[in-house]
Each structure stands twice: as C-alpha cells, then as structure tokens.
Amino acid sequence: MPEPAMPAAPVLPAALAGELRAAGLDAEAVAAVAAAALAEDLAGGIDETTAATVPAATTGQAALVARSPGVVAGLAVVRVVFWLVSAELLTVELTADGGRVAAGQTLLTVSGPVGPILTAERTALNLLCHLSGVATLTRQWADAVAGTRASIRDTRKTTPGLRALEKYAVRCGGGRNHRMALSDAALIKDNHVAAAGSVAAAFAAVRARAPGLPLEVECDTLDQVAEALAAGAGQILLDNFTVPQMAEAVQLAAGRALLEASGGLTLASARAVAGTGVDYLAVGALTHSAPALDIGLDLVQTS
C-alpha cells in the first residue's frame, strides 16, 4: 500500500518568504515547522476556549513583550505563525533579531481579529521564547570570549526538526555554525578512529572518498594531535583537554590547523580556554540546554 503523500508546505507571502531567505532560512521549511506546530496544538480540532469567549467580530491589538532581558531571535517565524492562522493579522516588528532587549520591551505587535491572535499565541511564543533563549545564551558565551581570537560554535545537538532555526538563533547571538548535517562536512570521532584503526587511517579514508569535503579530526590526546597534523588535518577538535593541554596543542599546531576546544566547557572557564589561542569553542549547550527567554503576549486593545 503506498505511503500517504505529505501535505505541501504553505506558500508564504513573497515579502515574508524573502525576509526568511535573507536570514539564511528556507522559507518552505519554516512554514512547514510552523504549520506542524499549529497542527499539534489544535490536534485536528479548534481552539475551544477562544471560540467560547471571544465573539467572532472582535478585533484588537496584542503586544509580544519581553519579561526578561536577552537577545531576540525568531520574529519572522512568529509572523509566519500568525499569518498561517489568519492572513488578516497584521504584524509590526519593533526590534530586530539579534538585538538585545530589556525587560518590559515590546518586540512585536499583532492586530486584527482577536480569536486568531489567541489561537496562535502559544505556538508563536513557544518558538520565539526558545529561539530567543538560544540567542541569549549564545551571546553570553560570545561576550565571554570577546577580544580573543576564539569564536563560539554550535554542534548537531539540536532539537529534532528545529536544527535550522536553532542554528539561526546561534547566529543571532553572535555565534558561528558548525556543520548543518552529516553530509556537508566530516568529523572523525573516536568511534571512527576505532573502526579505521588509527587517526591517520581514518583521515586517509575520508580524504579518499571525499577529497574536497571539509574535514575535522577529534583528538583525545596530544599524541593524536601530532598524528592528525602529520596526516594533514586542517581542523582539529580537542576533546576534553585541560587548559594547559590546549595551550600545548596550540604550540604544537603552530598555525598549521584550526583548533576547536570541546567537552566540559563552562561560561566561567570560557575566557581561560579562549586565552590558550584556540580558534573555536564548541558548545552543545547553546541548543540542547538554553533556557527559554521569558516573553509574553498581552492584549492591549479590543473592539
């Protein structure tokens, strides 16, 4: 029996789709995520509470307001959510993704039929609070290493289905993206080394299969760093190295490879790690452990 066809992603207004593409996002993919989130919230039915309490003719305006200071990310995604619920809703951004916001600051207003505003509220906030939380945490890490040569990079430790949006939020917070998927870069880890027999053997195998693919080698010891350098590695991940070991690895590499610190990193230690001369700090917590930024929706006017 053939598999049922997946529904096509909603076609967004050209201007909104263009804003998403300008931010490095796939407009169809964002629309699909927002539509799936709304479908999950409605579960094939309607918003019973809103239907019972809000007359259909009621119009008004609501404000998305930051309850805590942070960095905002996902405003265009919120606009997609509101548009999907009702094309009659008009949204106006009062800040921009990547901007620092204060507690009490209005981020976006939405006006039109109140029923659709309230139906979209939770889905819009779920996405905006999460993405802004990722951006806020990333900014804290980026600020911690400011003035050093090091940049903050994310990992693939992302929420299934939200990787592109979470990595976008990392960029909004001043971080940099590592690979998006397993196919766009190679990262030789300990299990690959075990399977291949050595760092050099694993490196040679990847290079033989994909000569032009970006390639990074994870190393657990300084001896492995030396082996990776000898093999010609241009990027090396220092896994769970101490700060003195990282400094020694920087001296050993002597500019021949980009070095990335990973494992056991904390905000408190970030500056000391960056001070060793590594090029990147890989921080999985940016996406897997960022607390949501507290943002609420307030009705400010009805008629």
Q: Which domains, and CATH codes, for the chain? A: 14-136+291-302 (3.90.1170.20), 143-288 (3.20.20.70)
Residues 6 or more apart whose CB falls under 8 angstroms from that of 189 comprise: 218
Query: Residue with structure tokens 């590594």?
Result: 278
Cβ atoms 170, 134 nearer than 8 A: yes
pLDDT at 301: 85
In the annotation, is 167 catalytic?
Answer: no
> Catalytic: which of 218, 227, 260, 279?
218
Interhelix angle 27-42/75-85, rounded to 10 degrees, is 60
In the annotation, is 189 catalytic?
Answer: yes
The pair of structure tokens assigned to 146 is 């400011």
In the annotation, is 218 catalytic?
Answer: yes
> Catalytic: which of 189, 207, 271, 294?
189
> Catalytic: which of 26, 28, 41, 157?
157
pLDDT at 8: 63
Q: Where are the beta strands (DSSP E) in the chain?
A: 59-66, 70-71, 90-93, 100-101, 106-113, 151-153, 186-188, 215-219, 235-239, 258-262, 280-282, 295-302
Q: Where are the beta strands (DSSP E) in 220-279?
A: 235-239, 258-262
In the annotation, is 239 catalytic?
Answer: yes
pLDDT at 3: 53
pLDDT at 114: 98
pLDDT at 7: 53
For the chain, 303 residues long, give each residue's pLDDT as a single digit of tens.
Answer: 455 454 566 889 999 999 999 999 999 999 999 999 999 999 999 999 999 999 999 999 999 999 999 999 999 999 999 999 999 999 999 999 999 999 999 999 999 999 999 999 999 999 999 999 999 999 999 999 999 999 999 999 999 999 999 999 999 999 999 999 999 999 999 999 999 999 999 999 999 999 999 999 999 999 999 999 999 999 999 999 999 999 999 999 999 999 999 999 999 999 999 999 999 999 999 999 999 999 999 999 889
In the annotation, is 122 catalytic?
Answer: yes
pLDDT at 2: 52
Distance CA(50)–CA(117), nearest Å, equals 10
> Catalytic: which of 216, 239, 260, 279?
239
- Work out whether strand 106-113 and strand 151-153 pair parallel, antiparallel, or are unpaired: unpaired
3-state SS, residue 295: strand
